[in-house]
Structure 1
Amino acid sequence: MTDQHNPKTDAEPQSNTEKDPEDWVSGDEPMTGAQGSYLKTLSEQAHEPGAFAEDLSKAEASKRIDALKSKLKL
């Protein structure tokens, strides 16, 4: 039996799960429905309606979500 790496027992499970949105393979694809909904909610809560746009990419939506979460201290 060969010893294989098990990510479930990795001491640092977050080590490769967070990438810069600029490095995402699918970052240029349209944002997901979940991203759009969350971004819309956050933009309303932050009183920044301009932060939401329907034509954002996944990467851009992620960046805006992170910025609004930071502003709202979430």
Structure 2
Amino acid sequence: MSTNQKKPDPVTEQDLPSNTVKDPDTWATGEETMTGAQASYLKTLSEEAGEPFDETLNKAQASKRIDELQSSTGRGKNH
């Protein structure tokens, strides 16, 4: 005799909590100099927003500034 018990649906990636969005203030490497990619993107966003580019920002500060400029320019909304 067989039973027709339905197996639970597998957990999909979208069901799991994201570990990619973390508060920059808690980054272990947040005090390090911003990465080249951050600097390049931040410079582009700054130019588009008509804002000055600050090359002295650390990783955490650059991440926050990128978020601010994305919001003001409308970039990065759809990843």
TM-score of the aligned structures, taking structure 2 as reference length: 0.73
Q: Percent identity?
A: 61
Residue 10 of structure 1 deviates from its aligned partner by: 3.5
1:45 to 2:48 alignment: yes
1:32 to 2:53 alignment: no
Q: 1:18 aligns with which of 18, 21, 28?
A: 21
Where 1:62 maps in the other structure, the secondary structure is: helix
Give the greater-gyration-radius structure (CA).
Answer: 2
In structure 1, runs of 5+ residues without a counterpart are 1-8
CA RMSD of aligned residues (A): 1.8
Give the equivalent residue in structure 1 for 2:62. 61
Structure number having the greater helix percentage:
1
State how far apart, in whole Å, the 2-side matches of 1:30 and 1:40 are: 15
State how far apart, in whole Å, the 1-side matches of 2:33 and 2:51 are: 21
In structure 2, runs of 5+ residues without a counterpart are 1-11
Q: Identify if the C-alpha distance between structure 1 residues 43 and 13 changes in structure 2 by more than 3 Å, giving closer, same or farther.
A: farther
Runs of 4+ in 1 over 2 A off after TM superposition: 9-14
State how far apart, in whole Å, the 1-side matches of 2:67 and 2:17 are: 17
